[in-house]
Amino acid sequence: MSYCAIILAAGKGHRYSRTIPKQYTVFDNELIINYSLKIFSEIKPIKKIILVINRLQFTKFKDQVYKSKKITIIEGGKERKDSVFLALSKLKKNNYKKVLIHDAARPFLKKILINKIIKFSKKNDAVIPYITNTDTIVFKNQILDRKKVLSIQTPQCFSYRKIFSLHKEYKNKKFNDESSLFFYKNFKVKKILGDYNNIKITLKNDLNNNKELSYGIGYDIHKLEKNYKLYLGGVYIPYSMGTVGHSDGDPVIHALIDSILGSKKLGDIGTLFPNNKKFKNKRSTFFLKKIINLIEAKNVKINNIDINIIAQKPNLKKYKKTISKNLAKICNISEKQISVKGKTTDRLGNVGKNKAIACEVITSVTDN
């Protein structure tokens, strides 16, 4: 049985933002709209996807929108029901038996739910996912039995012939979604348990509630020699020896960069800034500023940086605050979000013999 999916992404979402529609907001380095496009593209029984958009909005983000041979883009209507009708009309010359209708503002949809809906649709003309409510529900001063009050989700799956016929019949009637039409006609609707994480993004805080912390670890070590300068966290440390490196040999910033990149799987310092003439003798603060620009462009926010500088000498106690202040300024965060600690190795290894300085950093980030 062949299926088509309709993804609705033409809404303006004024409750979310008056500048960027929620479907084009970036979450975890990806447009909200792309989560739905990707997951439906990966479902084998779904042979075609109709993406319904507002052309004016879409033009600004089209280069970032997920591409697939399955996807056909059409202009939406004034209201949700108009957009669905236009998409259904686009399919009337095709031979799709079933159609799934989904809101692009539900980016946390999982394949397991789609496949479950498809499974039940083989013997049902309408399949809708629901979740029960955990809050007290009041209607006209009456407390309702919350076990009987269901929250309906998308995607919803229907017989193409029936849902198209109902849309034509109720073209001038207001309704919330396609399941409403089946309920109006008292047609059989198969209700299946949905997913509590499959929320519809309505307010900005909805994304905050689904943000996950990401962590990255960075480590670096540099040899100490005479006639070199010592920079730690971008701060010059007066000492009889300095670190040897292709740039200025700052192990703190090098470890910090790797921890930031690792937190979002963006590679490593050696890949982004290889040992060539272009970066020879560059200050490490130059590299860090580039990385901060990179993550800010991806709407990634640093929560906390934890730094261990491992050195037998010099004593770094009086420099820790200056290092913290300097890094906070470069990273566009508060000093309260950075911890700088100094450690020794009790004279063990090259660090303990004062032949090297090492640093390890853990950085936590979230998406803005």
Q: Which pLDDT belongs to residue 14?
A: 53
CA–CA gap between residue 184 and residue 113 (Å, rounded): 25
Q: Which pLDDT belongs to residue 57?
A: 86
DSSP 8-state class, residue 146: G
The first and second tokens of residue 139, run together, are 């209607």
DSSP 8-state class, residue 172: T
CA–CA gap between residue 282 and residue 278 (Å, rounded): 8
Q: Which pLDDT belongs to residue 311?
A: 95
Give 135's contacts (C-beta < 8 A, 6+ positions apart).
Answer: 146
Phi-psi region of 13 (alpha: psi -120 to 50; beta: other; left: phi over 0): left
| CA separation, residue 143 to residues 134, 149, 150 (Å) | 13, 11, 14
DSSP 8-state class, residue 19: S
CA–CA gap between residue 70 and residue 30 (Å, rounded): 20
Q: Which pLDDT belongs to residue 254?
A: 97
Q: Which pLDDT belongs to residue 90?
A: 93
* Backbone Cα Rg of the chain: 28
Q: Which pLDDT belongs to residue 202?
A: 82
With CA atoms as reference, report the closest residue to 323 among 248, 262, 253: 253
Q: Which pLDDT belongs to residue 348?
A: 94
Could you count the other beta carbons within 10 Å of the beta carbon of residue 193? Answer: 13
Q: Which pLDDT belongs to residue 38?
A: 94
* All domains of the chain in start order, with CATH: 3-208 (3.90.550.10), 214-367 (3.30.1330.50)
Residues in the chain: 368
Q: Check the CA dihedral 197-203-205-207 and report its sign.
A: positive
Yes or no: say if 179 and 126 are a contact pair by the CB < 8 Å rule.
Answer: yes
Largest CA distance in the chain: 86
Q: Which pLDDT belongs to residue 139?
A: 83
* Beta strand pairing call for 30-31 and 26-27: antiparallel
The CA-to-CA distance between both ends of the chain, in Å, stands at 41
Q: Which pLDDT belongs to residue 279?
A: 85
Q: Which pLDDT belongs to residue 208?
A: 62
The first and second tokens of residue 203, run together, are 């307010």
Residue with tokens 């913290």: 324
Tens of each residue's pLDDT in the chain, 368 residues: 889 999 999 987 555 555 678 899 888 678 999 999 999 999 999 999 999 999 988 888 989 999 999 999 999 999 999 999 999 999 988 889 999 999 999 999 999 999 999 999 999 999 999 999 888 888 888 888 888 889 999 999 999 999 999 999 998 888 889 999 999 999 999 999 999 889 998 876 666 655 567 899 999 999 999 999 999 999 999 999 999 998 999 999 999 999 999 999 999 998 899 888 888 888 999 999 999 999 988 878 899 999 999 999 999 999 999 999 999 999 998 898 999 999 999 999 999 999 999 999 999 998 75
Q: Which pLDDT belongs to residue 158?
A: 97
CA–CA gap between residue 276 and residue 212 (Å, rounded): 37
Q: Which pLDDT belongs to residue 213?
A: 79
With CA atoms as reference, report the closest residue to 6 among 99, 94, 105: 99
Query: Residue 48 is inside which H or E element, if any?
Result: strand 46-53
Q: What is the pTM of this model?
A: 0.60
Q: Which pLDDT belongs to residue 141?
A: 87
